[in-house]
């Protein structure tokens, strides 16, 4: 008999009521996925796609209007207490008490989860060493850098040795070095310790590096699912990016490229044109020739193998950057 999945979500629907000058928001619209044990699931999508709402439902902080969800076989509505002891949760905003020390934060968390005083102190020391925070353990958290605070947040989520760890946008606002440090720790958690991790992110590079299984979320639905490599491998050919001097407001560039052989999936966003081609080396001269013939100035042309941004474009019809800008304007 096959073991139960670590995470299951089936047809989750969640609608937030209308607010002042805002219509009702359907945050989740039939979201469904399954995650085996020991896998890092990356929920990739722009802000507002439904990622955080999904996490809140799976961590018992919110209830879906309809649909079901289970964590390590436990129903998130009927077995809330058991679910909370089986999971660790690192929210977007730091949950540390800034006026307490690192040790005090960890010991308090251990006590809340039922660990004895002695065990909590021992676990705190162990986690501080693991995250290279031993020297800072006796300092107030308000003196920590952003990267140190984020490490402590993750340590708090691990105090009681959970079976599933939820990381909601864990590296937002961190500098590149702190982000890389946290990536290394997430890889260790899943690789050597077999912990199941659900990671929400709007960083394409982060999803590509960490996710063993990736789910692209768009308007509350999973529109694509698989390993990052498998999703990229589905896209044949190369991706051509053209930076124009002027926006293609009249669609002239789109029509020119659509008439060329071997070029498809053309998307124009402002000054940027993207297209899928069979062979980049032969397509670029043809593209440049067609644009030069119509005296359309070009700033730059690049050819690349398919990326997660191309995957997102394939399944949603817009680039990831464009989707993020649209969500920021709507917020």
Last residue of a domain, one of 171, 201, 231: 231
Q: Are residues 263 and 114 in the same domain?
A: no
Same domain, 200 and 276: no
Q: Which two tokens stand for residue 259?
A: 């008439």
Average pLDDT over residues 314-326: 74
Contact status, residue 41 vs residue 213, Cβ threshold 8 Å:
yes
Among the listed ranges 16-25, 68-77, 133-142, 156-165, which one has the minimum average pLDDT value?
Answer: 16-25
- Same domain for 215 and 154: yes
Residue 19 domain flag: yes
Q: Which of 273, 258, 263, 261 is nearest to 238 (CA)?
A: 263
Tokens of 172: 């937002």
Residue 252, number of CB atoms within 10 A of its CB:
12
Instruction: Single out the residue in 182, 204, 231 at which a domain terminates.
Output: 231
Query: Residue 307: its pLDDT value, please?
Result: 87
Question: 17 lies in which domain range?
Answer: 7-231
Low-confidence winner among 3-17, 29-43, 280-294, 317-331 (lowest mean pLDDT): 317-331
Residue 135 belongs to domain with CATH number: 3.40.50.300
pLDDT at residue 290 is higher than 70: yes
pLDDT at 331 over 80: no
Domain-located, residue 252: yes
pLDDT (0 to 100) of residue 3:
60
Q: For residue range 196-216, what is the model confidence (pLDDT) as tens digits? A: 999 999 889 999 999 999 999
Confidence of residue 147 (pLDDT cuts 50, 70, 90): very high
Q: Are 249 and 202 within one domain?
A: no
How far apart, in whole angstroms, are the C-alpha atoms of residue 49 and residue 30?
A: 13
Q: Does residue 252 share a domain with residue 218?
A: no
Q: State the average pLDDT for the chain.
A: 90
The answer to whether residue 295 scores a pLDDT higher than 80 is yes
pLDDT at 268: 81
| 322: in domain | no
List strand residue ranges (DSSP E) for the chain, in order.
Answer: 7-16, 25-35, 40-44, 66-71, 74-75, 87-90, 164-168, 196-201, 213-218, 221-226, 238-244, 263-269, 272-277, 298-304
Domain shared by 182 and 272, yes or no: no
Considering the domain architecture, whether residues 62 and 177 belong to the same structural domain is answered as yes
2, part of any domain: no
Mean pLDDT, residues 294-323 = 83
Q: Which of 170, 198, 231 is the last residue of a domain?
A: 231
- Residue 311 domain-assigned (yes or no): no
Residue 327 lies in a domain: no
C-alpha 58/C-alpha 133 separation (Å) is 30
The CATH number of residue 288's host domain is 3.30.70.980
Report if residue 242 sits inside a domain. Answer: yes
C-alpha span between 62 and 189 (Å, rounded): 26
Same-domain check for residues 113 and 248: no
Give the pTM.
0.84
Q: Can you give the pLDDT at residue 330?
A: 53
Tell me, yes or no, whether 192 and 256 share the same domain: no
Q: For residue 290, give the nearest of 312, 309, 266, 321 by alpha carbon.
A: 266
> Of 5-19, 43-57, 139-153, 280-294, which range is least confident?
280-294
Considering the domain architecture, whether residues 145 and 55 belong to the same structural domain is answered as yes
Domain count, the chain: 2
pLDDT single digits (tens) 230-266: 999 888 888 888 898 888 777 888 888 888 888 878 8
The arrangement of strands across the sheet holding 87-90 comes to: 87-90, 164-168, 196-201, 40-44, 213-218, 221-226
């Amino acid at each position: 008999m096959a073991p139960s999945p670590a995470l299951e979500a089936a047809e989750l629907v969640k609608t937030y009521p209308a607010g002042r000058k805002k219509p009702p928001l359907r945050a989740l619209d039939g979201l469904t996925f399954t995650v085996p044990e020991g896998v890092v699931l990356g929920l990739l999508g722009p802000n507002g796609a439904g990622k955080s709402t999904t996490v809140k439902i799976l961590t018992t902080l919110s209830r879906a209007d309809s649909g079901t969800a289970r964590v390590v076989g436990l129903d998130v509505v009927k077995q809330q207490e058991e679910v909370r002891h089986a999971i660790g949760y690192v929210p977007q905003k730091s949950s540390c008490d800034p006026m307490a020390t690192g040790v005090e934060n960890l010991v308090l968390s251990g006590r809340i989860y039922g660990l004895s005083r002695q065990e909590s102190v021992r676990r705190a020391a162990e986690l501080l060493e693991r995250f290279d925070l031993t020297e800072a353990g006796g300092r107030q958290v308000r003196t920590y850098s952003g990267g140190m605070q984020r490490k402590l947040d993750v340590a708090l989520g691990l105090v009681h040795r959970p079976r599933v760890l939820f990381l909601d946008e864990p590296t937002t606002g961190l500098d590149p070095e702190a982000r890389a440090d946290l990536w290394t720790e997430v890889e260790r958690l899943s690789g050597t310790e077999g912990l199941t991790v659900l990671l929400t992110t709007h960083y394409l590079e982060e999803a590509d590096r960490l996710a063993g299984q990736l789910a692209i979320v768009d308007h509350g639905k999973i529109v694509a699912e698989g390993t990052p490599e498998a999703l990229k491998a589905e896209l044949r050919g190369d991706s051509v990016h053209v930076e124009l001097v002027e926006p293609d407001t009249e669609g002239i560039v789109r029509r020119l490229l659509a008439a060329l052989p071997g070029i498809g999936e053309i998307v124009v966003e402002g000054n940027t044109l993207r297209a899928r081609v069979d062979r980049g080396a032969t397509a670029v001269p043809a593209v440049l020739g067609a644009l030069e013939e119509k005296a359309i100035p070009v700033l730059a042309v690049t050819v690349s193998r398919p990326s997660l941004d191309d995957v997102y474009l394939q399944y949603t019809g817009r680039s990831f950057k464009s989707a993020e800008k649209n969500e920021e304007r709507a917020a």
